Structure 1
Amino acid sequence: MTEKVGVLGKKSPKRTGVERIVNAPLPTVYGEFRAVGYMDHDRGDEQVALVHGDIGTENVLTRLHSECLTGDAFGSQHCECGDQLASALRAVVAEGRGVVVYLRGHEGRGIGLLAKLRAMALQAEGLDTVEANLALGLPVDARDYGAAAGILADLGVRSVRLMSNNPRKREALLKHGITVAEQVPLLIPPCESNITYLRTKRERLDHHLPHLDAVAHWS
C-alpha cells in the first residue's frame, strides 16, 4: 500500500494485517452464506470468508481453501480441489454453522497460476508435483496462513474443527494462536487422472490420505 503524506508532511502509518471491508449475503446452491470480504494489507490480496449460521467461537467447523482456478472453476481432475471445496460447503451447511476461508494468492501452493501450469506441463512429462516445482526453481509450498488466522480472529473464532488432510495447515493455525480442536478428514475418491498427484501429496508432503490404499491397482 502506498503511504500517504499528511498536511504536516508526515507519513501515515502503513496498514498491516487483514481488514474487514464488506459483509454481504450470498445464496448458493449449497445454502445461505454471508460473504465477508477482507483486504490483506501484508500481501495486497483480497480475501473472502463464507460464513454460515451463528458460528460462535469454539469448535467451529472450518475449511481453509487455497485458491485453485483449474479445480474450483474448471473442474480439473488433475487435483481434488474443486470437490473438496464443494464438500466443505456442504458440510458447513449440514453442521448448521461454520466458515470456509477462500485464500487468494495460494494458486499452485503459492507459486501462481502460470507457474502452476508450467509445473503441470512438467508433470505430464513424468515429474511429480514436488519435482516439477523444484525443476522450475520454485518452492514446493509457498503458502502462508497468517491472513486466514487473522480472518478467523476477526470473526471471533478461537478454536476450529479443521477440514483438511494437510498437517501444515493445522500447524500454521496453532502458530498464529487459533486452537485446532480436531482435524477432520476431507477425503475425495481419487480418479485415474489424479492418483499419482495424490500419492505424491501423501508420500512427500505428509497429507493424511488413507483411502488411497483402496486404489493401489492403478498405475
Structure 2
Amino acid sequence: MTKAEQDVGRATPRARQRAATEAEILAAALAQMGREGVAALNLSQVAREVGLRQPSLFRYFPSRLALYDALFAHGMREHRAAVAAALAEGAGGWATVRGVAEATARFSAANPVLGQLLFTRPVPGFEPSAEAYAPSVDVRQMVSDSVADAVAAGELRAEAATPEGVQLLVALTAGVISLHAANDPGTEEPSPLLESALEMYAAYYRP
C-alpha cells in the first residue's frame, strides 16, 4: 500500500469523499482533453460529466488553471514513479541512463495527454505552481545521478554530468517525445528515434 493510500485510509469519510470526487474530476478532464485537445479544457463540460454544477466544481478547483495545475502535479508524480522504478531496476552506469530516458518516453507514449501537458506546455498562460513542479525537480536529480554514475563507471566523460550535459540529455529526450506526440499520436510505444538520440549523446561524451 502506498503512502497516499494509507493517508486516504486514515482520512475522515468526508475527506475520502472529497479525494474520490477530485480523482473523478481529474479523470473526466483527462478524457475530455484526450478527445478535444489539451488546451481545450472546458470546466462546464467536466462538471456535467461528473454530475456537478459548475459552481460546485469550483469548491474543488477554483479555476481552469487550478485544474491544469492539479493535472500537472498528478502527471509529474506518476512520471517520477516511473523514473524511480527505472533507477531501481537499472544495472547502473550507462544502462541506467538509457533506462531512465526510455521510462520517460514510455510514460509519455502511454499517457499522451499528460505527456503533452508535462513536456510541451500547450496551454497558453499556464505555468505550474512550485508545488506541482516539485516532482520534476526530483526527476532532474535522478537523471543527474544516473549520468554521474555512468561517468564514475568510465562510460562517459565528466562533462556529461555538468548541468549543461544533463540538460542536453533532457532536451534530446524531450525533443524525441514531442516529435513522437506530434507525428504518431495514439502510438503507445516510444519513438525508435530515442535510441539514435541516446547513441548520439553517448558518442559525444564518450571518454
Q: TM-score, normalised by structure 2?
A: 0.29
Q: Which has the higher strand share?
A: 1
Comparing both chains, which one has the higher relative contact order based on Cα–Cα distances under 8 Å and sequence gaps of 6 or more? 2
Q: Which has the higher helix share?
A: 2
